[in-house]
Amino acid sequence: MRIPTLLLAFFLSGAAPLRAQAPADSSYRPTASDLADGERLFESQCSRCHGVGATGGVGPALNRLRLRRAPTDVALIQVILGGLPGTAMMGFWNLTVEEASQIAAYLRTLGRRPPELVPGDAAAGRATYEGKGNCGSCHILAGQGAGWAPDLSDVGLRLSAAQLRESLVEPGAAQPISPLPSVHGPYPAFLAVEATTSTGRQIRGTRVTEDDFTMVVRQADGRLRSLEKTTLRRLRKIPGQSPMPSYASALSASELDDLIAYLASQRGEP
């Protein structure tokens, strides 16, 4: 199969960081067999994080037309091979440029499917977001709000409507991931922890980062506590909990639909 030749030369240079821009080669035309190979590779290499059919998992859904960090095919191939530094997306050194091209081609076919229908009224959802939901007390959206919870400015590109609903109804099951506290991600980004210091003081919060000797915990009031693990009397990690409350009973069914519609419309556009 033909692969973008400029891109190939770029990767063959080996030592070059994989983030640099390379021009797209529009002559690439994947065959049916390329697409089948791309699907097979995606399911074995990528679906653990991005979900079967790229519908999303701990990693974002990729079955959409516009991928924020990969606007072009070449950029998508670069992300697959080189990863996204500072995120849980690692580079796949074991894939060839052809294989990454096949995965990218397969993903682009998914993106051409019609967008999912979201019931609910986005404008009404905005009022819920700003009012009853009080979402901005933890989240940022388009630059507004507090900053420690996930940025929702482009959440409509990252999460499907089903995932948005899960996040609102059962936040502990929808843990976002983070490459911290190690290069060996993905780790839950908001792991709940309880620590008892040598003086008996209780510290509760979410893990921000951790190594063998230290842990930084964000308390409910937003304050950071930097802990020396060897001096603690007790340290407990509580997986599956989220600092976010469930909105299952706090909002009505139609309010939830509206809020989901509003969040699904957030596409990172100013």
Partner 1 sequence: MRRTLLALLTIAAAAPPLAGQVTDARLRAARREPANWLTYSGDLKAQRYSPLSQITPANIGSLRPAWIYQAVTPGQMQTSPVVVDGVMYLTEYQGHVAALDARSGRVLWRYQQAVPPTLLALGFAPTNRGVAVLDSTVYVGSPDARLVALDARSGAVRWNVPVADNALGYAITGAPLAFGDLVIIGISGAEAGIRGFLDAYDARTGERRWRFYTIPAPGEPGSETWGGDSWKTGGGSTWLTGSYDPALGLLYWGVGNPGSLFNADDRPGDNLYTCSLVALDAKTGTLKWHFQFTPHDTHDWDAAQVPVLFDGRFQGRARKFVAMANRNGFYYLLDRVTGEFLAGTPYIQQTWAEGLDASGRPVLRPNTEPTGAGIAITPNLHGASNWYSPSYSPRTGLFYVAARQMGSRYYKYPVSYTPGRYFLGGGESEFGGDSAHGAVKALDPVTGKARWSFPLHSPPWAGLLSTGGGLVFGGTNEGVFFALSTTTGRPLWHFQTGAMINANPMAFAIDGRQYLAIAAGSTLQVFTLAGAGTAVR
- Residue closer to partner 1 by CB (options 77, 122) is 77
Whether the CB-CB separation of 116 and 161 falls below 8 Å is answered with yes
| Residue with smaller CB distance to partner 1, 62 or 157 | 62
Shortest Å distance, C-beta 100 to partner 1: 12
* Nearer Cβ to partner 1 (133/186): 186
| Choice between 3 and 168, CB closer to partner 1 | 3
Query: Bridge-partner residues for 187, per DSSP?
Result: 178
Beta carbon of residue 17, minimum distance to partner 1 (angstroms, whole number): 8
Task: Select 198 or 252, whichever has its Cβ closest to partner 1.
Answer: 198
| Residues binding partner 1 (CB under 8 A) | 12-15, 40, 44-45, 48, 93-96, 177, 181-188, 191, 210-214, 230, 237, 239
Closer to partner 1 by CB, 59 or 133: give it: 59
* Minimum distance, C-beta of residue 31 to partner 1, in the bound complex (Å): 16
* Two structure tokens written together for 4: 């973008």
Q: How far is the CB of 96 from partner 1 (least distance, A)?
A: 5
Considering the complex, state which of residue 12 and residue 117 has its C-beta at the smaller distance from partner 1.
12
Question: In angstroms, what CA-CA distances link 5 with 22, 26, 38?
Answer: 10, 11, 19
Shortest reach from residue 60's CB to partner 1, in Å: 17
Q: How far is the CB of 84 from partner 1 (least distance, A)?
A: 16
Q: Which of 243, 56, 259 is nearest to 165 (CA)?
A: 259
Nearest approach in angstroms of CB 35 to partner 1 is 16
